[in-house]
Structure 1
């Protein structure tokens, strides 16, 4: 059990680091673009870009979990590590694949990571909306 917790914690910290880099990058670029672009279409592009970049970050983080699953042997033989990582990260939980018993804690740890990072992305999207559309989201 300690190996599961140690590896899961290390991967959670790695995915948090990945998300941090992408978040800081997207925030700086969005802020820089919002200062330059004042027309509707340009602001739509900013928002589409922000969401696309954050989704790419999630794909990278899911891939990291998938590689971890493959390295330690979480997924039963013949099953897709990437699919299983996606199902866990998004908390979809089809239940069509079960982890091998020795690594069963990594699934819930992946789900906890996904919930946290999707929530973080939502907060970033809202912050960029406040930057890109200051009149709409002005605090009074």
Structure 2
């Protein structure tokens, strides 16, 4: 694959994953609000656990979906052979762990960098979302403002 092809494919996958991640987070907000209204106010710890737990599950789902998108795309682009290799490579690259035991060919290696950037950016967004949620939910459960 050419350099321009890698940049184009990597950018498109990054944008697709970013939109999916934002969509899942934004889509979970009404559910979190609904859950907050339904949660029993007599036991604030349960309410906090439910809200943060639900948000956490949604974030894990969003990241898992993106790893799968990268794995399928790498298979489609013939960057790796075998689904297990593609899924493994996508996961260790997306999380920026990068063991190096499965690598892309030189003419495909820029895709790996785009997968890492995708993970880095979406993990940052996930962290910001969880921090905002905890800052909003925890003081309310403690009886603060």
Q: TM-score, normalised by structure 2?
A: 0.86
Q: 1:12 maps to which residue? A: 14
> Which digits, 9 at most, give the CA deviation of each residue in 1:28-74, with x for residues without a partner?
22233224433321220111111111001100000000011001111
Unaligned runs of 5+ in 2: none
Q: Residues 130 and 29 (structure 1 numbering): CA distance in 2 closer, same or farther, change over 3 Å?
A: farther
- Distance in 1 (CA, whole Å) between partners of 2:110 and 2:61 is 26
Say which structure is richer in helix.
Answer: 2
Q: 2:90 maps to which residue? A: 85
| 8 Å CA contact 1:75, 1:81 repeated in 2 | yes
Size of the alignment, in residue pairs? 138
Q: 1:109 maps to which residue? A: 114
Q: 1:83 Cα shift?
A: 0.4
Q: 1:25 Cα shift?
A: 1.6
| Structure 2 residue corresponding to 1:26, chosen from 25, 28, 34 | 28
Q: 2:127 maps to which residue? A: 122
Q: 1:102 Cα shift?
A: 1.3
Q: 1:67 maps to which residue? A: 72
| 8 Å CA contact 1:34, 1:132 repeated in 2 | no
Q: Residues 77 and 62 (structure 1 numbering): CA distance in 2 closer, same or farther, change over 3 Å?
A: closer
Q: Residues 54 and 95 (structure 1 numbering): CA distance in 2 closer, same or farther, change over 3 Å?
A: same
Q: 1:53 maps to which residue? A: 58
- Distance in 2 (CA, whole Å) between partners of 1:88 and 1:112 is 9
- Distance in 2 (CA, whole Å) between partners of 1:108 and 1:78 is 19
Q: TM-score, normalised by structure 1?
A: 0.89
Unaligned runs of 5+ in 1: none
